[in-house]
Amino acid sequence: MEVEKMEKIEKPANIAILASGTGTNAINLLTRQLSQQERGEESPLKVKIVLVVINNLESPLIKVMEERFPDMGLVITAKTISEYEILRIFTEWQIKWVYLCGYMRILSRHFLQHFPHPELTGISSVINIHPSLLPKFPGLHSYEKCFKSEEKVGGVTIHFVDSGVDTGPIIMQREFPKKMNESLSDFSNRGKELEWKMFGDIFQTMLETGTIAPLQRKKIENADYQPIKQQDGNILMKEIIQSKISGESLDWTPLLLKHKSEKKHQVFWVRLKNQTKHEDQVHWDSYAARIIDTVDMELLVGGEKIAKAFDRNQVQVVHFQRGLTDNPANSFCDLLSLVTGKSFEAHSGKLIEGFEIINPLIECSFESKNISITEIFKQISKHNYFAIETSSFDKLYETYALLNNELETFQKISDENHWALSTNELKVIKDFYHTPEIQAKRRSDGLPIDPTDIEMEVFAQTWSEHCKHKIFAAKIDYQDSIEEFTVDGLFSTYIKAPTEELRKTIPWAISVFKDNAGIVRFHDDFDFCIKVETHNSPSALDPYGGALTGLLGVHRDIMGTGLGAKPVANTDVLLFGNPDFEGDLPKGLHHPKSIFEGVHHGIQDAGNKSGIPTINGAIHFDDQYCGKPIVYCGSVGILPKEIKGIPTHAKGHRAGDYIVMVGGAVGLDGIHGATSSSLGMDEKTPLGMVQIGDPFTQKKMLDFMLVARDQLLFNSLTDNGAGGLSSSIGEMAEKTGGAKVDLSKVPLKYPGLRPWQIFVSESQERLTLSVPKENWEALSDLAKKYSIHADIVGEFTRNGFLELYFDKDLVGKIEMQFLHQGLPQMQLSAKWDGPQALQRWNKSEAPKILNHHQEYFEFLLNNPTIASKEKWVRQYDQEVQSASALRPYGGMDQTFPNHAGVLWPGAYGAQGYSGVGVASGLCPQMSDVDTELMALMAADEAVRNLVVTGINPDWIALVDNFCWPDPIESSKNPDGPHKLAQLVRAARGIQKIALAYRMPFVSGKDSMKNDFYGANAEGKKVKISALPTLLITSIGKHPDVRKIITNETSVGSHLYLLDSINEYSFYFGYYMRDQMEISSLTQMSELKWELKKTLELYREFFAATQSGVVEGAADLSEGGLSVALFEMLLGSKLSINIETIENESEKNFLYNELPGRILVSVRPDKAAEFEAHFPIHSRRKLGVVFDGGKPFSLTINKRSTINLETCETLYRGRL
Amino acid sequence: MSRISKKVIVLCGDGFNCEAELKRAFEYHAGDVSLVHISDFLKRPSLMLQASVLGIPGGFSFGDELRSGKILAEKIRKDFLALLPEFLAQKSLIIGVCNGFQVLMQLGVFENSQDKNQSRRITLATNDHGEFRDRWVRCQVTEAGKKSPWLKGISSGPLFMPIRHKEGNIVANSSKTFDESSLALVYCEDVNGSTNKAAGLIDQTGQIFGLMPHPEAALEVFLHPVKMSGRPNLEMNAELNVIQLKKIFENALDYK
């Protein structure tokens, strides 16, 4: 093959201008460029301004740009545009240099890291002009300051920008003398002339030489940042080219699916399977019409053809890192085999005209500026490029010389292997292996007396915090200024015990805490189950894959409940750093906005492609979640009460049943996920945790499982999640008393996996079934029909051992009793010093002072946590399966938020019109006040969100999900005892509310190490701990989906506030803390709240909904009454005049975030009947709704009128 | 033929996920509906000829990779197209909703061209806003649509139902090739950039109806995004809306 010679034309480096003001300097530069261009070919530009960004909608520069430089790229934005957005725009435009022309904001180090000087290390390629002789007169109004000063001269400085204010290395500096008796404007005009000349000169130099350097080099020695580089595909490629090329395998053929109207195109590298010679050429052209959609696509085959189509463009070629699940490629192979009748393997990627930021953990990128397009494709197409590095092995296991080694050495081995076992746990293992009986047994089994790798891995998985919840099982000595006590297990004391107590009188809590999800009986013929998981660490590393596998994982928990339930709804609660975070992020962290977007797309793919609607959720922002985001993935499932007379809520596997793994195959994915999530995260966190899920395979597996279940082909199942087969088989074998597994029978994605890797791999989309031998054939046939794997990998036994074989060889054997009971209980101590203001890891801005209600409203509704998420939530299917009687947004235009999701089981074949509602509550912002109060408020909010839709408070169950910063004391975590005490108090809080509201907890989970340890750019250590966060998810029975209540109101309706606390003498809340008179955290923590009274109010409200007197209702949470009123008026765009309590408490009344309150809309003819339901002190009439035309508004005490239309713009446009 | 004995087949498997609701839409009118897995259909394609109505539901067949509906279309192409002339000749009907519509589109049944060798001219491309969107929207039946057995007698007032897709933007490879006689259902407002606000198409016989919105998901009053709470909803009557949408499926069972 002839190598195509392509002359590489040096393209000018792109410059962007950032301007806020009049833009005189910008016009200067643009004019020079224009005249240079007009001079023509003889002096080609070395740099080129391609883009002007103006962050001021009123700048006169906009008009000039449109008139004089119509061809120039132009972005006009509001002043509030975040740096992250600018960075994204610049990345898209491939900007290499930036000129600041009167740009009024300081750029963060994080931003500057993306613009390194092309030749000089330690300085940026961002250039600013400043009207003074720096370092004199930095900041604003420099001419004026200089003019008024004693200085004899004024001056102008052009400098590179660093993260200080006008402090970067100087490129050029000139002075001009002051004149006697001149005015300030004369003085500054002369300065501006000088600016014009200097800036022009510098730019001219750059146009000709392509670069510019600072005056003095030595100043920059202590560089304050390291440039960030995209994962450089070329380096990786070099490695591969240098590695030995062996065999005669066929190279990969690149196929490009070129879109006619888009800038992003799919690429597939394909080759025939099991083929080593070019004997069987594929005639791609003849298949084109069946491979692509010919209406708007074109098929290009081979690197040369692809290169030719893009030879004038700058392109980027991106593909998945090797070894990750590649869904497009798998589907493409399916298509190729349908079309050609042959079997292919493929890898997918994309060709982007332009440039995108990639995640180097999962993607690999090549840019055509470094290397020609032909060369890129030539190199990637080399046959061994996508090979997975697995090597053959001659030993089936390694052993660890445990018995003759000190524990310290053993601990080191544990750390190196990411087992996350403590010294105490290692000692227990060591002592166990030390006993003579065990040693004798091992000898007779032909096993070494030291543990084998697979055995240690099984201990590490089974005893991980993730699987065993050691902290929730620990014995804790608690102490605060008032009391001291010992808790023998937070879970058994505060969660399990009250639930067991309540179950004596609550018959509908069918299965709690023992299965993959809790089961409630809300229907005569069908049970519902609920489970909420977290996927925080994986989402921090790869937000898309993390959230995708998180939600698919919780769907499998539902599938693995009882005899197999069908997931019917998602609930997703997400907590991130502020989306417009500006400042320095420690190395290794993604920007919160990019985490948000990645997680969003993961949830979108997992929910939508599985055909499971997202009916409930929340998105919360706080910079304490910059280190680790919190991603709660919840799911609701349905299962028939019984199948052919067999109850479905219990599992029925017996010794002698086959252990069958169904779904996908096993690779190196996610090894050590369970153990790693039990460690804090740092820069070195293993990448094996990054995984991509495959919703299509899982959907086929779900379809298969439901049919097999209805035919009773299996008698038990569980999902393969954290810990893989080691967890699923280990757990199931506990019931029968043992299992025998042959790991050589497990289907693999590629050869070369060691037995221990097969056993603990967390490859997704798998279930473990227990299949009575006589059913195997039928089950196997069914799996073929659904085109998924099903393989017998072992058998359940009752001999008390987990026996692990690889074909005929025993590679590990563990006593079940020791595996499940041998873990010693942790002993911890907790100390609470009362409410403590949170230590934030980053400096927050000084609060903006607000003056009147309009500003208060706008401030609240513009807060990202409170603002509308509609734009994002709309991208989730909220109603597939047609059961969603209540979806996240309501009203004719579907703009106001609903408080819960309600499902109608009729869609799954159930009789009648009763429904099942799901809602959530959380308020981590109250954790610094007191986590006990925080827990009460979270649970109350979750309950109230159901109650306002018309759900009976006597038919509600709860789910708890704790996400805590590390509560164990250590040198790097000195305040562990405080955080543990916060955990104890939160757990006690949910016990209180469970007993007071009479609502059982039916499921729960905890994640305990939500901390990030890293360093900022200066090398200073940074620790970012998540707020103590408790999510309460509620599930309740709705009596009639035809009578669901939402935020609706209408003309003439009366609005009421139902209140069970009535505390307005001080500000209680979070969102307005900076604005209100300071109430101490202690004052808040001492809130008088009688839970019994609140429950009574809810019961009475339910009675009122049943008698049909309630038109609309809303809960009050963030922002209090103000936000609730706004959201109620939003759907109908109606107005109201309200009366609040006496003047001095007006603000508290409007903005307090007290729990236990409901806003209600009542038709006038029902008002008397409604009022009769409630005692006078618990209801307050606020006003009457009327049509006030445009804009709709809210008037408070006849004095201040708030324009809600401007509020709406902020509320809906914020995110 | 009485309605009870009308046989309806709804395809399922391979990533479809709205088969149950499409099945129920026919069952409201006592249709005899069976779900047939794609694998079973391919084993015995002639099953299709026993049906008076074939329903292809919404979902994400093959994960919607490459182009929604493409891979499934290739999977059933040979068998489906071989039987289609006979199926239509016996006056049977086909409906494809959302992903089902995308499959039919990829099979080329909406190419209103006599020349079978002509390359395809119309497709469902990515929405102009680039996103998947779930939202209830207003649609209207066109004059051409009213001639289809599927849409006969349906009021011309707006129909309110959800769209839930990313690739629902109907485009032709040139503006001249868009055949307005196939245009059966339009959105009342521009929701995704679709040519002529097209929401649904019929083939030349009028017997095949493909649409992006989901009428089968709006057949209960309480699924409507506005909850009545006992007051009249001035803008749109939810009960009436349900009656109109149900008529689509009733029409199919009453046909012939």
Please name which of A360, A1013, A351 lies closest in space to residue A690, comparing C-alpha atoms.
A360
Interface of B with A in 134-153 (CB under 8 A): 134-136
Q: Phi and psi (nearest 5°) for A1055? A: -100, 135
Residue A200, classified by CB atoms within 10 Å of its CB into exposed (0-12), middle (13-18) or buried (19+), is middle
Query: What's the average model confidence in pLDDT over A690-713?
Result: 93
Q: With residue A351 as reference, give the H or E element that holds it.
A: strand A344-353
pLDDT at B235: 54
pLDDT at A280: 64
A149-198 tens-digit pLDDT: 888 888 999 998 876 777 788 888 888 888 888 888 888 888 888 888 89
Please name which of B44, B67, B41 lies closest in space to residue B54, comparing C-alpha atoms.
B41
Q: Phi and psi (nearest 5°) for A774? A: -65, -15
Q: With residue A804 as reference, give the H or E element that holds it.
A: strand A801-806
Spans of all domains in chain B: 3-254
Match 């962290």 to its residue by tokens. Answer: A589
How is residue A789 annotated by DSSP? E
pLDDT at A246: 39
Q: Per-residue confidence at A222, pLDDT binned at 50, 70, 90?
A: very low
pLDDT at A1170: 96
Rounded Cα gap, residues A61 and A66, in angstroms:
9
Query: Which residue in the set B123, B172, B227 is minimally distant from A293, CB to CB?
Result: B123
DSSP H helices in A504-591: 536-541, 543-559
CA of A445 vs chain B CAs: smallest distance (Å): 46
Whether residues A338 and B162 touch (CB distance < 8 A) is answered with no
Confidence check: pLDDT of A235 > 50: no
Confidence check: pLDDT of A1100 > 50: yes
Bridge-based pairing state of the strands A956-963 and A1001-1007? parallel
Confidence check: pLDDT of A5 > 80: no
Query: Which residue in the set A261, A294, A889 is minimally distant from B120, CB to CB?
Result: A294
Buried-state track A527-536, b at ≥16 Cβ within 10 A, e below 16: bbbbbbbbbb
CA A242 to chain centre: 38
CA A344 to chain centre: 34
Question: Is the complex ipTM more than 0.90?
Answer: yes
Residue pair A1039/A1170 in contact by the 8 Å Cβ criterion: no
Query: What's the average model confidence in pLDDT over A266-289?
Result: 81
Rounded Cα gap, residues A205 and A198, in angstroms:
11
Bridge-based pairing state of the strands A630-640 and B208-211? unpaired
Query: What's the average model confidence in pLDDT over A781-810?
Result: 94
Residue A354 to residues A94, A308, A314, A544, A963, Cα–Cα distance (Å): 7, 16, 6, 22, 40
List the end-to-end C-alpha distance of chain A, in Å, as a whole number.
Answer: 52
Sort residue B175 into left (φ over 0), alpha (ψ -120 to 50) or beta.
Answer: alpha
Q: How many Cβ pairs within 8 Å bridge chains A and B?
A: 173
Q: With residue A915 as reference, give the H or E element that holds it.
A: strand A915-921
pLDDT at A1006: 93
3-state DSSP helix/strand/coil % of chain B, to nearest 5: 40, 25, 40
Rounded Cα gap, residues A106 and A83, in angstroms:
10
Residue pair A1089/A936 in contact by the 8 Å Cβ criterion: yes
Whether residues A1112 and B63 touch (CB distance < 8 A) is answered with no
Query: What's the average model confidence in pLDDT over A917-927?
Result: 96
Task: Judge: domain B3-254, CATH 3.40.50.880.
Answer: yes
A251-274 tens-digit pLDDT: 889 999 999 888 899 999 998 887
* Chain A interface test: which of B134, B241, B245 (most A C-beta within 10 Å): B134
Could you tell me the pTM of the whole model? Answer: 0.85
Record the tokens describing residue A1073, joined without a space: 């803390």
Q: Per-residue confidence at A89, pLDDT binned at 50, 70, 90?
A: confident
pLDDT at A976: 93
pLDDT at A239: 36
A958-967 tens-digit pLDDT: 999 999 999 9
Match 């010794």 to its residue by tokens. Answer: A655
pLDDT at B2: 53
Confidence check: pLDDT of A688 > 60: no
Q: Identify the structural domains of chain A with CATH numbers, from first to last.
A: 13-220 (3.40.50.170), 233-380 (no CATH), 407-471 (no CATH), 1047-1215 (3.90.650.10)
Cβ contacts of A949 on chain B, cutoff 8 Å: none
Whether residues A875 and B134 touch (CB distance < 8 A) is answered with yes
Q: Which residue of A has its CA nearest to B163?
A: A877
Using alpha carbons only, give the angle A569, B124, B244 rounded to the nearest 5 degrees. Answer: 65
Cβ contacts of B67 on chain A, cutoff 8 Å: 292-293, 297
pLDDT at A999: 97
pLDDT at A84: 73
Instruction: Give the contacts of A892 (CB within 8 A, at least 6 positions apart).
Output: A1131, B225, B226, B235, B236
Rounded Cα gap, residues A699 and B19, in angstroms:
13
Rounded Cα gap, residues A961 and A304, in angstroms:
54
Q: Per-residue confidence at A1032, pLDDT binned at 50, 70, 90?
A: very high
Bridge-based pairing state of the strands B133-141 and B159-165? antiparallel
CA of A706 vs chain B CAs: smallest distance (Å): 12
Buried-state track A1181-1212, b at ≥16 Cβ within 10 A, e below 16: bbbebeebeeebbbbbeeeebbbbeebbebbb
pLDDT at B236: 64
Confidence check: pLDDT of A221 > 70: no
pLDDT at A971: 87
Confidence check: pLDDT of A238 > 50: no
A1150-1196 tens-digit pLDDT: 999 999 999 999 999 999 999 999 999 899 999 999 999 999 999 99
pLDDT at A8: 45
Cβ contacts of B60 on chain A, cutoff 8 Å: 608-609, 611, 695-696, 699
Q: How many CA atoms lie within 13 A of B146 on its CB side?
A: 9
CA of B171 vs chain A CAs: smallest distance (Å): 9
Cβ contacts of B65 on chain A, cutoff 8 Å: 327-328, 331-332, 696
Query: Amino acid identity, residue A1179?
Result: R
CA dihedral (A977, A981, A983, A987) positive or negative: positive
CA of A937 vs chain B CAs: smallest distance (Å): 28
Residue pair A804/A810 in contact by the 8 Å Cβ criterion: yes
Please name which of A960, A1114, A1182 lies closest in space to residue A499, comparing C-alpha atoms.
A960
Please name which of A698, A692, A721 lies closest in space to residue A789, comparing C-alpha atoms.
A698
DSSP H helices in A243-357: 284-291, 303-309, 327-340
Query: Which residue in the set A262, A297, A695 is minimally distant from B63, CB to CB?
Result: A695
Record the tokens describing residue A24, joined without a space: 């005189």
Please, which residues bridge with residue A475 across strands?
A488, A827
Whether residues A786 and B122 touch (CB distance < 8 A) is answered with no
pLDDT at A388: 64
A611-665 tens-digit pLDDT: 999 999 999 999 999 999 999 999 999 999 999 999 999 899 999 999 999 998 8
Whether residues A327 and B63 touch (CB distance < 8 A) is answered with yes
Whether residues A331 and B106 touch (CB distance < 8 A) is answered with no
Taking the CB of residue A97, how many other CB atoms lie within 10 A of it? Answer: 23
Q: With residue A1195 as reference, give the H or E element that holds it.
A: strand A1193-1196
Best mean pLDDT range from A50-59, A846-855, B68-77: B68-77
pLDDT at A940: 98
Rounded percentage of chain A residues whose pLDDT exceeds 90: 56
Residue pair B8/B51 in contact by the 8 Å Cβ criterion: yes
Rounded percentage of chain A residues whose pLDDT exceeds 70: 93
pLDDT at A249: 62
Residue A124 to residues A163, A258, A380, A898, Cα–Cα distance (Å): 10, 37, 33, 48
**Of the candidate ranges A1-15, A787-801, A851-865, B169-183, the one whose mean pLDDT is the lowest:** A1-15
Residue-averaged pLDDT of chain A: 88
pLDDT at A389: 57
pLDDT at A677: 57
Whether residues B121 and A703 touch (CB distance < 8 A) is answered with no
CA A673 to chain centre: 17
pLDDT at B3: 54
**Is pLDDT larger for residue A424 or for residue B92?**
B92
